[in-house]
Amino acid sequence: MSCSLIGVDFTSAPTRRKPITVARGTLAGAVLRLDRVDACTSFPAFEAVLAEPGPWAGAFDFPFGLPRVFVDAMGLGANCAEISAAVHARCAARMDFRALVDAWGHGLPHRTTDRALGPGLNSTSPLQTRYVPVGFMWFEGLQRLLAAGLSLPGLYRGDDQRQAFEGYPGALAHALIGRRSYKNSAEPDRLIARKDLVDALEQGRATAAYAGAPRLKLSHAMRDALVADASGDRLDAVLCLVQAAWAQAQPGQGLPPGLDPVEGWILGAR
């Protein structure tokens, strides 16, 4: 029996030059076939993807939760839906969310899951709205998952035929090629790193770090496109796709029992 999946490399301000990238695939047994990679150049285009009827599951590269210390201090709620509603009631735009975090004045704490990705690897705090604006990604992304009525296992009960998980492509990339950089450059070393990442996925080596992860199957043209994309966005979407596929074969869909409904959990965190 096959399962339809997506992996999403998200941006808080999609454009033609920097779209939301959606990798689509089909899982059959231990093989994940990459069907195509789409570019959503606007939020309405992304929302149309979320509205597609199930059954499908997807991993999204943005945080689903905020650090509990911040949420409790600000009295934002007890789960991701309450928190999103409370923040958007206070903040009309994402720059207002930055002002809210700045006014709190206690730095940029991490969630438990941000620190549980393995030795030498942390994800960025969801309160970071500068440099890598992960906070803006939370602000723009989570509200759209909730508005679309998706289920966020362990966090929010919506349409169980459309399930969303928090992915983190950097964790899987780190497991496969270590600290080598593969993004944001056409230089030979990064092109080789992208090639090595795709090789590892095709050879099924992801299962060494993510037990039960499938082997990726793709056409020569798709392979060339992933390697040639200097931004790394297509490859990040595919890495999220692999994480979504991995979750389908895991007890509890790869989520720990009793996860914190305020902070959420990244697929594959320990």
The pLDDT tens digits of the residues spanning 7-52 come to 999 999 999 999 999 999 999 999 999 999 999 999 999 999 999 9
Other beta carbons within 10 Å of 41:
14
Give every residue of the chain whose pLDDT is below 70, as ranges. Answer: 1
pLDDT at residue number 80: 96
Interatomic CA distance for residues 218 and 26, integer angstroms: 11
Predicted local confidence at residue 210, as pLDDT? 86
Strand (E) or helix (H) holding 166:
strand 159-166
Beta strands 159-166; 56-60: pairing state: parallel
Q: Are strands 159-166 and 150-151 parallel, antiparallel or unpaired?
A: parallel
pTM greater than the 0.75 cutoff: yes
Q: What is the pLDDT of residue 195?
A: 97
Q: How many helices (H) and strands (E) does the chain have?
A: 9, 7
Which of 118, 94, 122 lies closest to 109 in space, CA to CA?
122
Q: What is the pLDDT of residue 134?
A: 97
Over the stretch 152-176, which tens digit does the pLDDT of each residue have?
999 999 999 999 999 999 999 999 9
pLDDT reported for residue 221: 97
Please report the pLDDT score of residue 162 as a whole number.
97
- The helix or strand, by DSSP H or E, that contains position 90, with its residue range, turns out to be helix 80-90
Q: Which amino acid is at 189?
A: D
- Structure tokens that stand for 255 in this block: 């989520």
Residue 194's pLDDT is 98
- Residue 20: how many CB atoms within 10 A of its CB? 27
What token pair was written down for 117?
């990705």
- pLDDT value at position 209? 79
Q: Provide the pLDDT for residue 1.
A: 56
For residue 60, the cross-strand partners are 8, 166
CA distances from 164 to 62, 90, 269 (A): 11, 25, 16
